[in-house]
Amino acid sequence: MKMNTLLKLITFGLCACISTKYCGQDWVVGPVFGVTAIIWQTGLKNLNRKHLLFLGLSTLIYAAVSKVSSLWEFKSDFANTFVGSFSLAVIFGSVALPFALQAVFPETKKQFKKVVISLVACYFVITGVAYFFTNVLEVKGINFVDIMIVVWQALFLYLFFWRKSASE
């Protein structure tokens, strides 16, 4: 295994652990994920001011996602599950963060559409599975928010940065 691949896997693992533990903290997940994305993009080589800009945008976008997700009380009914404030927040983040990345790093622009569609689709698939498990099968104890965070972050990183490093 290449050192760069190992670095990516370790940083993703740490990011996933921190993100799931502190997902309710406005100012934790954004910078942690921003740093992880920068490491995945650069391998800690050739860092510049653009990376600081992206880190700041990642922090602000997650804080906004956190605020939007708590606009109104979450209910487990079918409609709120798919169109409630949490859904709006995830859709906002699924568009805003890829947009910020491609605005700061234009070379990522060609992946933008595929990433946004994948992130939004991933959210609705996991939300549907979560709804089915909790409301139809009445299975308790599965933390679907943690699953969503980890899968969303993995998709973002993989679709934007994995192929680039695989050809190195």
CA–CA dist 39, 162 (Å, integer): 11
In the chain, what are the domain boundaries? 3-166
- Give the pLDDT confidence score for residue 168 in this predicted structure: 45
Q: What pLDDT was estimated at residue 165? A: 47
CA-wise closest residue to 123 among 95, 90, 96:
90
Residue 35: per-residue pLDDT:
97
- CA atoms of 72 and 42, how far apart (whole Å): 39
DSSP 3-state assignment of 22? Answer: coil
* Better-predicted residue by pLDDT, 136 or 105: 105
Segment 72-110, tens digit of pLDDT: 665 556 666 677 778 889 999 999 999 999 999 999 999
**Residue labelled with tokens 């859709």:** 91
Tokens matching residue 10: 């370790």
Burial, 110: exposed, middle or buried (Cβ in 10 Å; 0-12, 13-18, 19+)? exposed
Residue 26 carries which side chain, given as an amino acid letter? D
At 133, list the tokens: 């498990």
pTM: 0.89
Report pLDDT for 73. 62
CA pair distance 105, 92, nearest whole angstrom: 20
The arithmetic mean of pLDDT across residues 57-80, rounded, is 79
Query: Hey, what are 114's tokens?
Result: 């595929």
The confidence score (pLDDT) of residue 167 equals 45
Kindly report, residue by residue over 1-56, the tens digit of the pLDDT.
688 889 999 999 999 999 999 988 878 999 999 999 999 999 888 899 999 999 99
Please give the angle made by the CA atoms of 78, 143 and 34, to the nearest 5 degrees.
105
